[in-house]
Amino acid sequence: MRLFRFLLVPMMLLSGFSSGCAVNPTDIKGFNLISIEEEKQLGSKFSAEVEKQQTVIKDPDVQNYVDRVGRRLLTGVQARDFDYTFKVIKDNDVNAFAVPGGHIYVNSGLIKAADNESELAGVMAHEINHAVARHGTRQLTQQYGFALVSQLVLGQDPNLLAQLASSLFGQAGTMSYSRSMESQADYLGVQTMYRAGYNPNGMTTFLGKLETMKKSNPGSLAQFFSTHPMTSDRIQSVKRDIAQLPAKVYQEDNTELIRIKAKLR
């Protein structure tokens, strides 16, 4: 396949900037040869391919609810370079993922697994901050090389774009980020939740729940854990980040979440 030939040729001029390099959790302006406008174009192409492969739930109540949670979280991010979109995919697996350019997808299984809105917001905040820090295009250039990503932006090979979209965001799994990128998305996600008025402990409780679910029903989490490595160190790190925040009283109404979960069932 042409895709795999691209992966093998010496196009990976960024291979020296390996995904193992440390990422400063507070710095969202990491090295990236893809411009913001190019990322917007690439994200639009990828999201179109994703929606050919996945079933997006059209129920306006479900869509409006997830969009409301996403818009509220955006009030707490460090930067908004993209016109964010939030959509729900009909899939019982507990998962969510971000496509470059600010396209956030949430599985229906994730909504059903959340006990409260802060837990749902915790996962969405994590994915939003993958987009805020532009981890998608940074990881793509590290893995596949600037020349190939530029070719995708220019749309010179639609078949290649479809192959890569299927590989990264299709049924088989979503983009795998470096450990430092995952840690940064956790850190920024906690900050985002706090500033948006969500209790960041929702992220901790949901991560703990996922560990329990992995033991009892690993099939429903295979995709999530393949792309979001879960360790006790990661959970403890999130707890430390939360402990550094000034005390705050949170108010949460889960009435709408309960109604949306009932619709999805």
User: pLDDT tens digits, residue range 83-132?
Assistant: 999 999 999 988 899 999 999 999 999 999 999 999 999 999 999 999 99
Three state DSSP letters for 44-59: HHHHHHHHHHCCECCC
Contacts for 167 with CB less than 8 Å, ≥ 6 apart: 3
Q: Does residue 164 surpass a pLDDT of 90?
A: no
| CA 243 to the chain's CA centroid | 24
| Residue 133: band (very low, low, confident or very high) from pLDDT cuts 50, 70, 90 | very high
- Segment 73-85 shows an average pLDDT of 97
| Residue 220: band (very low, low, confident or very high) from pLDDT cuts 50, 70, 90 | low
| Residue 29: band (very low, low, confident or very high) from pLDDT cuts 50, 70, 90 | confident
pLDDT of 239-254, one tens digit each? 999 999 999 999 999 9
- For residue 216, the model assigns a pLDDT of 66
- Rounded distance between C-alpha atoms, residue 51 and residue 85, angstroms: 13
- For residue 179, the model assigns a pLDDT of 85
* Mean pLDDT of the residues in the chain: 85
Top-confidence residue, 184 or 144: 184
- For residue 2, the model assigns a pLDDT of 41
Greatest C-alpha distance within the chain: 55
| CA 55 to the chain's CA centroid | 18
Q: What are 25's two structure tokens? A: 């959790």
- Map tokens 């396209």 to a residue: 103
| Ordered strands of the 85-89 beta sheet | 85-89, 103-107, 96-99
Contacts for 147 with CB less than 8 Å, ≥ 6 apart: 11, 13
